């Protein structure tokens, strides 16, 4: 049975939860206008570690989706997860999807987001 790609709504919901968490963590350490790159930096680190090792972030777990390697079906590893997060930061690459609902960031990292 072929895994079901995650819907755009679930992906957006998970991203929103993850982004809110990163902003809250960054806000505990600095004011957003003084350190505007702290929240995106935390986002990249969180995605790099959680997707790299576990295939899910907190938001993805809540929305029952996971990010896995297109070839093995397992976690994508930290380097590919960091690449995926950095490419996704401007958000535009995430909206440019192919027929399999893989954004540019997924294609760059060799990953796919699936419903669990």
Residue pLDDT, tens place only, 10-42: 999 999 999 999 999 999 999 888 999 999 999
Q: What is the pLDDT at residue 94?
A: 84
Tell whether 2 is covered by a domain: no
Q: Ramachandran region of residue 64, left (φ > 0), alpha (ψ -120 to 50) or beta?
A: left
Q: Is residue 105 predicted with pLDDT exceeding 90?
A: yes
Residue pair 69/79 in contact (Cβ under 8 Å)? The answer is no
Name the more confident of 1 and 33: 33
Q: Which residue has the tokens 């996704």?
A: 88
Whether residue 108 is contained in a domain is answered as: yes
Taking residues 56-73, what's their average pLDDT? 96
Burial of 78 (0-12, 13-18, 19+ CB in 10 A): middle
pLDDT of residue 49: 97
Q: Is residue 64 part of a domain?
A: yes
Q: Which residues constitute the domain of residue 65?
A: 8-27+35-115
Q: Is residue 58 part of a domain?
A: yes
Among 19, 54, 53, 55, smallest CA distance to 39 is for 19
- DSSP-assigned beta bridge partners for residue 65: 115
**Structural domain count, the chain:** 1
Residue 1 lies in a domain: no
Q: What is the pTM of this model?
A: 0.91
Terminal CA-CA length for the chain:
13
- Is the model's pLDDT at 55 over the cut of 80? yes
């Amino acid at each position: 049975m072929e895994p079901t790609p995650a819907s755009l709504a679930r992906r957006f919901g998970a991203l929103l939860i993850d982004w809110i968490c990163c902003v809250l963590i960054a806000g505990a350490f600095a004011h957003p206008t003084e350190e505007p790159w702290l929240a995106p930096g935390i986002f990249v680190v969180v995605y790099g570690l959680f997707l790299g090792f576990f295939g899910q972030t907190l938001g993805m777990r809540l929305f029952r989706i996971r990010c896995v390697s297109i070839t093995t079906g397992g976690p994508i590893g930290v380097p590919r997860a960091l690449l995926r997060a950095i490419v996704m930061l401007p958000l535009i690459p995430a909206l440019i999807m192919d027929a399999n609902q893989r954004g540019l960031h997924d294609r760059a990292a060799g990953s796919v987001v699936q419903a669990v």
